Amino acid sequence: MKTKIFALAALLCAWAAQAAAAEKVDRPRLVVGVVVDQMRWDYLYRYYDQFAEGGLKRLLKEGYNFDNMHYNYLPTVTAAGHASIYTGTTPAIHGIAGNNYHLNGHPIYCVEDTTVAGVGTTSKAGKMSPRNMMVTNMCDQLRLATDFRSKVIGVALKDRASILPAGHSANAAYWFDRSTGTFITSTYYMDELPAWVRSFNKDNKTNPKEDIWILPKGLSLTTKMAIAALDGEKLGRQADQTDMLCISYSSTDVMGHKYGTRGPKTDEMYLALDKELRKLFDVLDSRIGRDKYLLFITADHAGGHNAKFLNDHKLPGGQLGYWGKLKKELSRTLAARFAGVDVIDDVNGEQVYLNLAAIKQRGLNLDEVEQAVCDEIQKYEGVQYVVPVRHLMTATIPYPIRDRILMGNCPRRSGEIQIVPRPAYYDYSYDEGTSHSHWAPYDTHVPFILMGWHIDEGHTNRPVNITDIAPTICALLKIQMPSGCVGTPLLD
């Protein structure tokens, strides 16, 4: 009798185990996020006939393509872009107001952290962390949902492009130190580099004098490091665990700033990117399984055409040649008007930070100061609008631009006055190179393609925002959205 009872109990336990397995939440083994720095959306089609099979063509053929993905704020720059992709919100909420901005009244680099030290380096390049980002991102939410069993790793040449996507609770973020020619991290994550990173650095160390950032070699090194992380951390190898690998290709941006959007250097870089993506996809197929990983690709911003290139073809555009001396000129002119008070604290990007303490101490009227600053800046060639942010909602400025300023301005971090240049006007060498940061489509329109686990081939031209990426990934994974998320899932 006891034997029958034990047998029945064992059978019931087996049924219960099967039922629990059947009811388990369906998730991929690995999520891979790929961000290509300064990749314009139209590059997908400009180079389509030159792409080989298996790389970007595979994404376009097998993935679901959102052809009308835009950034919904300004400034469109690297740090803000990477943060927005992964948080599902904008600088107004996540706090990464630019690559550089002010914090507690002082200029700061976006991922600067003086409380940590470098690991793998003694240089200041290691004193970085995600602490300045004010909200969680999708990687943090994945870690929370799995009681921190999921592993999250970030890899990029740029520190901010590795740190911000990986999030606050990441197992590690690795970035490249020019001075050592190796990948490093900080004590925010660990006290010493894992053996696999030390081995990788030994085998792949570059000459610090060689500028790999502007060469296809920078792409190749990033892919190698990403694959090393995949293997070194055994990402996606456990059936009951979803891990995440965040990869950002930085060399495309460095090349764009120097050589622009047209020419042999640009062609070489994007055809090299196509080859690197094919290598990555092949490894993911073999290590994880073609239908067991979810991958997305996008860009942190796009980039405008060089002004000389435009002008040579009778198209509008120009150079903001005065930008480097704007603070000095404004300070001198306005001090003469306001009894010697320097009302300008800083000019950073396309924002003016006022010396609010001095303005208050001297009893100056803030409205009068702001109007005077705007009047002076409006005189410069290439400036279309200048607006005090606190009067933004009543300013005579088109609402698409107004809304982007609002979504990009973070209180106590962003400037008090926003400058909006005319389309295709930048501060860079007129003869070659390009830049980015504007509200216009050439800077906001980027690729977004999903591929892999549970993704059917498809395409849409409906308008979507960069803040929709994070909630889409979270919805697919059946996890909560990030804490500051304002976007909407894109797949039913």
Q: Which residues are catalytic?
A: 78
310 neighbors 316 (Cβ within 8 angstroms):
yes
In sign, the C-alpha dihedral spanning 349, 351, 357, 361 is: positive
Query: Distance between CA 469 and CA 245 in Å, rounded?
Result: 16
Identity of the amino acid at 47: Y
Query: Distance between CA 215 and CA 252 in Å, rounded?
Result: 9
The residue among 414, 411, 418 whose CA lies nearest residue 373 is 418
* Total count of residues recorded for the chain: 492
215 neighbors 251 (Cβ within 8 angstroms):
yes
Query: Distance between CA 295 and CA 353 in Å, rounded?
Result: 40
Query: Distance between CA 241 and CA 151 in Å, rounded?
Result: 9
The burial of 90, by beta-carbon neighbours within 10 Å (0-12 exposed, 13-18 middle, 19 or more buried), is given as: buried
Residue 75, preceding peptide bond in cis (omega within 30° of 0): yes
- Could you list the beta-strand ranges (E) of 369-457: 383-388, 417-421, 425-426, 445-446, 448-452
Query: Distance between CA 133 and CA 155 in Å, rounded?
Result: 18
Query: Distance between CA 288 and CA 239 in Å, rounded?
Result: 10
252 neighbors 270 (Cβ within 8 angstroms):
yes
